[in-house]
Structure 1
């Protein structure tokens, strides 16, 4: 393909058109800056600026001696949930058990107009009751439309396209999709039964990570949770990198049976703690509590003001009504216990059949590691009536061979049948 243009903008558009049309495929090497500048009769800085914009947009990347390499158009993103009308028993969607969700009643206590406080006083009290013990004094409170929306807004407030961010490997699908859409470069951090591994995070920080995205409990997909020892080690490590922003996605907080252990250094400059209500109150309730430092809050308010403005007070009223009800809070607590019992019950059945899984494990899903690609097991289980999620879609760099099995709604009889089928397909 012939690249054209006399300005950085025109050169960028020419290359982007070539990628979009398929003339430049992933892995193609673009001409060196000096060579293309000579061909087009422009200054080298003009070509360098075009290449820099391609890198920021995620369309190409610098590969050392190989030069600038085309990355291609983003692949179709995997998402949580399964297609409607699925004939198989859905164990891939990542959903809570609908029978465990509290009843929502949307009844406005009063009409709100432009200019009111974005966070209702009732919601303020409930959120701070959850967050106060786990946040530095004087923190700011905001709301977002769920955890993924909060992650996207925070990274946009903190980072520029192309900036590197340390994330768990394997990683939550929603987080991976946000990083890809925003053009951020993920730096993989290995995970074990106790969450992020300290030395692996150190390597990512030394490689230039400007932010860390971390799950303290019920990591998706592996179910790992930080213990006090691991959290303390991570906190000590992060204290040595005060310029790095720390984002904690505590999505399972209302249901967790594990204690929360903070990784926030005492003098952290930029930080945020997200607590989504989706797992406990239902995925369609797009609300998350967000605690953060005041500077981050000011940036978020600017973005909210220019966009959605605020999280609907009707939603806030519905959340407040549920969380102020002792009966509904008891139902949420019972749901967390039930999910853990179902997960541990399935783990015990698999252990008895020679298929051990990591412990402790928490969340709506069971993670079953595999030695190689999961496709044969996914297809074999589909033939037996089960729809499960192959682990490869969660990978950042290392192969994430495994099965993520949503077991939140599985009864004892279904668990036994699934364990028998898993044992059979693993032979």
Structure 2
């Protein structure tokens, strides 16, 4: 391995080439700044600047006195979804119940679709009106509306629009694995905020803000994986804390809005300069109808539009037409209400069955999942349940900074009576 160069750019480029060629691998240490400066005959500040560029590019990580080492490349990590090829009862997938999703074979016949051309408005007028009515009352004054390809797409675009690589983003801990992965792949760092039954703890959020987080991403209700939701008191506490940090980007991911039981409470203060409220239709209409409404301030909307401009990457008008048809269909609205009712019944049935056996569980009030803390190793419990025919998700998939010794159980497709059978097997597996 030979690092060469006389300027910071030349030195950083040399290291990058050594990484790309495989001569430097994750975990390998770079020479100390003083040592490399002497080898190359340059000022120590030049080498320090080169290492800083490499750190910003996520190629190396500085470990203080332990030196600078080549970083592991970013990976998407675990993903939500079906476990294909398994004969187990899948309570790990995080999916809505397909029985309540619209039949895609009928949608095109019912939707008002036509061919769209370059230069047309990026949002269909009727869908724009629907979105403004749906989000307007829950946003600060002056809301602008944009569409993205789902909630995760919105989160990634918002982070890229306002943050730079290395910036810290506060998220719930435990948190949704897709969100955590998206933020990391965008080059930002996640800072875990402790949560309880009512969402982010105010003191934990305050501590993160004091440490310099540049954005806060919060799930106001039906948090995945725990199912916690903000109440009015907690939302007001968080809003009061954020009011003193007007330059921090505040993102609310209200992903479950179409089928939510709990009321929505905003944490966005009027003093906040950059903010966004995201509402996806995926949980109610299905993951493939990948559209999210984004209500945000004007400056944020302008940045999003630069990336969603005509001829570049707008959300398909055909997809918009299908979503609009669903959101205005009496039949589908009735199905959404039925789904909401079923999810509530399934969730309560499982929680009551657990508590009747003396198994403590978080007070989940919304969402598709129940979070069950365990005293034994979560992977062992998941394995034992799998041997009895149940597939659950280990809590470690949702960890940000703190260990999450728990399992997450998806309740959307539970049949009557299954909750009791699951709890008996869970109790046996849990010892």
The two structures have a TM-score, normalised by structure 1, of 0.95
Q: CA–CA distance in 1 between the matches of 2:20 and 2:366? A: 42
**Greater mean deviation of Cα atoms: 392-401 or 48-57:** 48-57
User: Alpha-carbon deviation of 1:148?
Assistant: 0.3
User: Alpha-carbon deviation of 1:146?
Assistant: 0.2
2:118–2:310 Cα contact (<8 Å) kept: no
**Greater mean deviation of Cα atoms: 356-365 or 342-351:** 356-365
**Greater mean deviation of Cα atoms: 147-156 or 306-315:** 306-315
Aligned with 2:383 (options 379, 386, 392): 379
User: What 5-or-longer segments of structure 2 have no aligned partner?
Assistant: none
Q: Does 1:288 align with 2:288?
A: no
**Greater mean deviation of Cα atoms: 37-46 or 380-389:** 37-46
User: Alpha-carbon deviation of 1:309?
Assistant: 2.6
2:75–2:181 Cα contact (<8 Å) kept: no
Aligned with 1:217 (options 221, 228, 242): 221
Instruction: Note the alpha carbon deviations across 1:313-345, whole angstroms, 9 max, x for none.
Output: 111111111111122112112211211110111
**Greater mean deviation of Cα atoms: 29-38 or 158-167:** 29-38
Query: Residue 242 of structure 2 corresponds to which residue in structure 1?
Result: 238
**Greater mean deviation of Cα atoms: 48-57 or 235-244:** 48-57
Query: Residue 84 of structure 2 corresponds to which residue in structure 1?
Result: 84
2:262–2:365 Cα contact (<8 Å) kept: no
Query: Residue 60 of structure 2 corresponds to which residue in structure 1?
Result: 60
Pairing 1:144-163 to 2, within 5 Å after superposition: 144-163=148-167
The CA RMSD over aligned residues, in Å, is 1.9
Q: Note closer, same or farther for the CA distance 1:139–1:394 as it changes in structure 2 (3 Å cut).
A: same
Q: Note closer, same or farther for the CA distance 1:308–1:192 as it changes in structure 2 (3 Å cut).
A: farther
Q: CA–CA distance in 2 between the matches of 1:140 and 1:110? A: 26
User: Alpha-carbon deviation of 1:73?
Assistant: 2.2
Query: Residue 199 of structure 2 corresponds to which residue in structure 1?
Result: 195
Query: Residue 11 of structure 1 corresponds to which residue in structure 2?
Result: 11
1:19–1:72 Cα contact (<8 Å) kept: no
Query: Residue 136 of structure 1 corresponds to which residue in structure 2?
Result: 140
Instruction: Note the alpha carbon deviations across 1:62-109, whole angstroms, 9 max, x for none.
Output: 333333343322346111113422222211111000001133413443
2:374–2:430 Cα contact (<8 Å) kept: no
Instruction: Note the alpha carbon deviations across 1:323-371, whole angstroms, 9 max, x for none.
Output: 1112211211221121111011111111111212111432111111123
Aligned to 1:367, the other structure's residue is in SS state: strand
Q: CA–CA distance in 2 between the matches of 1:78 and 1:253? A: 24
Query: Residue 359 of structure 2 corresponds to which residue in structure 1?
Result: 355
Q: Note closer, same or farther for the CA distance 1:292–1:72 as it changes in structure 2 (3 Å cut).
A: same
User: Alpha-carbon deviation of 1:137?
Assistant: 2.1
Pairing 1:91-106 to 2, within 5 Å after superposition: 91-104=91-104, 105-106=107-108
Query: Residue 399 of structure 1 corresponds to which residue in structure 2?
Result: 403
Aligned to 1:243, the other structure's residue is in SS state: coil
Q: Does 1:322 align with 2:318?
A: no
**Greater mean deviation of Cα atoms: 221-230 or 26-35:** 26-35
Q: Note closer, same or farther for the CA distance 1:290–1:18 as it changes in structure 2 (3 Å cut).
A: same
Instruction: Note the alpha carbon deviations across 1:99-120, whole angstroms, 9 max, x for none.
Output: 0113341344333211111111
User: What 5-or-longer segments of structure 1 have no aligned partner?
Assistant: none
**Greater mean deviation of Cα atoms: 55-64 or 25-34:** 25-34
Instruction: Note the alpha carbon deviations across 1:24-63, whole angstroms, 9 max, x for none.
Output: 5555443222221221223334322321222223232233
Q: Note closer, same or farther for the CA distance 1:378–1:20 as it changes in structure 2 (3 Å cut).
A: farther
Instruction: Note the alpha carbon deviations across 1:161-190, whole angstroms, 9 max, x for none.
Output: 111111111111111111121110111111
Q: CA–CA distance in 2 between the matches of 1:91 and 1:315? A: 29
Q: CA–CA distance in 2 between the matches of 1:340 and 1:31? A: 58
Query: Residue 48 of structure 2 corresponds to which residue in structure 1?
Result: 48
Q: CA–CA distance in 2 between the matches of 1:403 and 1:417? A: 17
Q: Note closer, same or farther for the CA distance 1:61–1:382 as it changes in structure 2 (3 Å cut).
A: same
Query: Residue 277 of structure 1 corresponds to which residue in structure 2?
Result: 281
Q: Note closer, same or farther for the CA distance 1:54–1:132 as it changes in structure 2 (3 Å cut).
A: same
Aligned to 2:417, the other structure's residue is in SS state: helix
Instruction: Note the alpha carbon deviations across 1:229-265, whole angstroms, 9 max, x for none.
Output: 0000000000000110101100001111000000000
Q: CA–CA distance in 2 between the matches of 1:41 and 1:307? A: 50
Aligned to 2:140, the other structure's residue is in SS state: coil
Aligned to 2:257, the other structure's residue is in SS state: coil
Q: Does 1:184 align with 2:183?
A: no
Instruction: Note the alpha carbon deviations across 1:123-168, whole angstroms, 9 max, x for none.
Output: 0121122111101222100000000000010000010011111111
Aligned with 1:409 (options 409, 413, 416): 413
User: Alpha-carbon deviation of 1:408?
Assistant: 0.6
Query: Residue 174 of structure 1 corresponds to which residue in structure 2?
Result: 178
Aligned residues: 427
**Greater mean deviation of Cα atoms: 223-232 or 320-329:** 320-329
